[in-house]
């Protein structure tokens, strides 16, 4: 393990003062029920959140809270954390109970949790500025892609209505027909100064999306 720890530090370009922190960050609960990375994962999640939300706040000063929230969610979900972990080769250093198992991209939770735990270990060992540089570097590609955000019709309509009228769109369930296991919902939506538009879907969410899409077409917003 000592060789691996040395190798990982060289790869990360970080020399830990407390090597035990790094080892704990890499230890999955299947390998050690007591001394594992679960608590570090908890802390790392918050550190990542602080660094990335601050970066988005700085990058997009004119964007609303709703848009920033969606951009943030696209940066910190499990899949992204998993891919970030994979990109730095963390899969080769994680300590799991089954020594013959090879960690793959399908082990999303193990990779994601380990990535968050590693961030926490760097934060505790090296401080905020060092971990900030580390996060912004390994998330660089995802941060650059955050400039492009495809919004669903509901979000687009909500953003428009809040900006123009300071009010949320008004959705109503008009009816639910068909069998219980496969219903069709009819949903209406309106905003200030528009007529009511109706959408249908196999779920309330889908009905709302379809209704919002029709209203957006009416006010000529793509």
Tokens 């090879």 identify what position?
102
Which of 74-78, 121-125, 203-207 tops mean pLDDT? Answer: 121-125
pLDDT bucket at 202, cuts 50 / 70 / 90 = confident
172 strand-pairing partners:
188
Give the number of C-alpha atoms closer than 13 A to the C-alpha of residue 16, restricted to the C-beta side.
24
What would the mean pLDDT of 111-139 be, rounded to a whole number? Answer: 97
Assign 27 a pLDDT band (cuts: 50, 70, 90): very high
Please tell me which residue in 41, 45, 107, 113 is annotated as part of the active site. 45
116 is catalytic: yes
101 token code pair: 């198992």
User: What's phi and psi for 51, nearest 5 deg?
Assistant: -65, -45
Give tens-digit pLDDT for 118-130: 999 999 999 999 9
From the candidates 41, 107, 116, 125, which is the catalytic residue? 116
Q: Domains plus CATH for the chain?
A: 2-145 (1.10.1520.10), 153-218 (3.30.160.20)
Query: 210 pLDDT exceeds 90?
Result: yes
What is the pLDDT confidence band of residue 62, given thresholds at 50, 70 and 90? confident
Rounded-to-10 torsion of CA 160, 165, 166, 169: -60
Question: Does 144 qualify as catalytic in the annotation?
Answer: no
């Amino acid at each position: 393990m000592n060789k691996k720890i040395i190798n990982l530090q060289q790869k990360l370009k970080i020399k830990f003062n407390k090597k035990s922190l790094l080892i704990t960050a890499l230890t999955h609960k299947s390998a050690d029920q007591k001394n594992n990375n679960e608590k570090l994962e908890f802390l790392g999640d918050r550190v990542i959140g602080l660094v990335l939300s601050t970066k988005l706040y700085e990058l997009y000063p004119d964007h609303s809270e709703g848009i920033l929230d969606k951009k943030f969610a696209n940066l910190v979900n499990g899949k992204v954390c998993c891919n970030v972990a994979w990109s730095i080769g963390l899969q080769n250093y994680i300590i799991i109970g089954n020594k013959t198992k090879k960690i793959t991209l399908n082990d999303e939770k193990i990779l994601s949790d380990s990535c968050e735990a590693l961030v926490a270990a760097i934060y505790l060992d090296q401080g905020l500025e060092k971990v900030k540089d580390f996060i912004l570097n390994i998330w660089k590609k995802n941060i650059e892609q955050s400039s492009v955000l495809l919004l669903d019709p509901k979000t687009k309509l909500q953003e428009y209505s809040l900006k123009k009228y300071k009010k949320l769109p008004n959705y109503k369930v008009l009816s639910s027909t068909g069998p219980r296991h496969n219903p069709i919902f009819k949903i209406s939506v309106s905003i200030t100064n528009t007529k009511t538009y109706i959408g249908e879907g196999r779920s309330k969410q889908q009905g709302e999306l379809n209704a919002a899409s029709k209203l957006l077409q009416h006010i000529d917003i793509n």
